[in-house]
Homo-oligomer: A and B are copies of this chain.
Amino acid sequence: MKLMCGKETLLNFINIVNKAVSSRTTLPILECILLTADQRGFTMTANNLELGIQTAPIDADVLEKGEIAIEAKIFHEIIRRLNGDTVTLETDEKNSITITGGTSRFTIMGQSGDDFPALPDVVQEEAYTLGQNELRNLIRQTIFSISQESTKQILTGELFEMKENALQVVSIDGYRISFRKSPLEHDFTEKSVVVPGKTLTELTKILSQEDEDKVHLYFTDKHVLFDLGMATMVSRLLEGEYVSYENNFTEDFKTKIIIDTNELIQALERASLVSRDNRKTPVRLELKPNVLVITARSDMGTAYEEVPNETDGDEMQIAFNPRYLIEALRAIDDEKVAIRFTGSLSPCTIVPLEGKAYQYLILPLRM
């Protein structure tokens, strides 16, 4: 292989495939990026066996075809620090690669491309399409409540439900449910799959922040492929039945408040300060006419907060893990939200003032 490529171009694509490089593994080849120059042009691939990323052909002058796997970390560092605008990559028959640029020349031992694991094959037939930034937000606004416990394997992923012209994304960790939905472009077959949380975390890092950039989702029984245009990401799906969640949501309430999202976050964060054990001390909410009183108490001391709001319904007292409320509220970009309460021992639900784009359900703590 021999080719020349712009340094910044190369660096951008390395940053993309890097998201699928293993950091700690017993298989050194998984810490590599596969460089390929063939009839398609110059591409790069990374694959940690859970998820893989392959770039689209990269703008480069390919002088000689070939393939090599090079350790991602050193390759990234060298390209990042080169002082020239153009990089020349050249391999020899002993699987070493010479990287030349500016005033530098590196020769690095690589591995044969033949040893690099192939990505799963996903035929790109029926596409589910939405804006990249839209998908990025859907994930960001739900990913925090996936289960961290590997005993509930299926809950370590997010439910992707494609139905009623929309993509619904759901995460549940046993204490709360996060639900978001967003319209999909054109007609499609209904589908329901569970995507691993790790995949989604890495995906958000490479999704564009522009909704004009589209992402197309393709599925097989076992895999999902995200086509971002400049790269595709392939991930296995989680197997098994996801938890049924719809019946937990209700439109009923005994008390509903409309409250400033940011003021409530700030007050909850302050009240959490008297907790020594990483916010596990409950906060008590007292719903009074047009004012929410938040209190917390620990061996360290007490906190008292007042947040004005529009209250509709009865006075009520209810306690929560403040972190759960804060994380849900932080995922909401609206200035104000509605929170529905049905009783001191029943979950509350955070919803938008209008529409049904999201619902966050949180179980209370016993006082």
Residues of A bordering B, CB below 8 Å: 71, 74, 77-78, 81-83, 96, 103-109, 266-267, 269-270, 273-274, 299-307
Cβ contacts under 8 Å, A301 to chain B: 74, 96, 106-109
- 9 CB contacts below 8 A, A to B, read A74-B300, A78-B273, A81-B266, A82-B270, A103-B306, A104-B303, A104-B304, A108-B300, A109-B301
A101 CB to nearest chain B CB (Å): 10
Contacts of A105 in B (CB 8 A): 303-305
- Contact of B104 with A267 in the complex, beta carbons under 8 Å: yes
State how many angstroms separate the Cβ of A25 from the closest Cβ of chain B. Answer: 16
Give chain B nearest CB distance to A221 CB in angstroms.
Answer: 41
- In-complex Cβ contact of A106 among B104, B269, B274 (8 A): B274
Q: Which residue of B lies closest to A73 (CB)?
A: B273
A16 to chain B, nearest CB (A): 21
A302 in contact with B106 (CB, 8 Å)? yes
Q: Is the CB of B104 within 8 A of A274?
A: no
Q: Which residues of chain B come closer than 8 Å to A299, judged between CB atoms? A: 109
So how many copies of this chain end up in the complex? 2
> Contact at B270–A104, with CB atoms within 8 Å?
yes
How far apart sit A299 and B107, CA to CA, in the bound complex (Å)? 11
Q: How far is the CA of A12 from the CA of B306 in the complex (A)?
A: 26
- A82–B266 Cα distance when bound, in Å, is 9
The 4 closest A-B pairs by CB, nearest first: A108-B301, A105-B304, A107-B302, A103-B306
Of all chain B residues, the one with the shortest Cβ separation from A76 is B273
Asked if residues A270 and B74 are in contact (CB atoms below 8 Å), the reply is no
Q: Which of A71, A96, A106, A109 has the most CB of B within 10 A?
A: A106
Question: What's the minimum C-beta distance from A74 to chain B, rounded to whole angstroms?
Answer: 6
**Contact A269-B81, Cβ < 8 Å, known A104-B305, A109-B300:** yes
A81 nearest CB across to chain B (Å)? 5
Which residue on chain B has the smallest CB distance to residue A77? B273
Cross-chain contact A307 with B106 (CB below 8 angstroms): no
- Say whether B109 contacts A74, CB under 8 Å: no
Contacts of A103 in B (CB 8 A): 267, 305-307
| Cα distance, A304 to B307, chains bound together (Å) | 64
Shortest CB–CB separation between residue A122 and chain B, in angstroms?
Answer: 35
Report the separation of the CA atoms of residues A108 and B304 in the bound assembly, to the nearest whole angstrom.
12
A268 vs chain B, min Cβ distance (A): 11
Beyond contacts A77-B273, A103-B267: 18 other A-B pairs, Cβ-Cβ < 8 A, are A71-B300, A74-B273, A78-B270, A78-B273, A81-B270, A81-B273, A103-B305, A103-B307, A104-B303, A104-B305, A106-B273, A106-B274, A106-B302, A106-B304, A107-B302, A108-B300, A109-B300, A109-B301
Q: Chain B residues with Cβ under 8 A from A300's Cβ?
A: 71, 74, 108-109
Which residue on chain B has the smallest CB distance to residue A291? Answer: B103
- Chain B proximity of A235: nearest CB distance (Å): 31
Q: Which B residues are CB-close (under 8 A) to A81?
A: 266, 269-270, 273
Least CB distance from A266 to B in Å reads 6
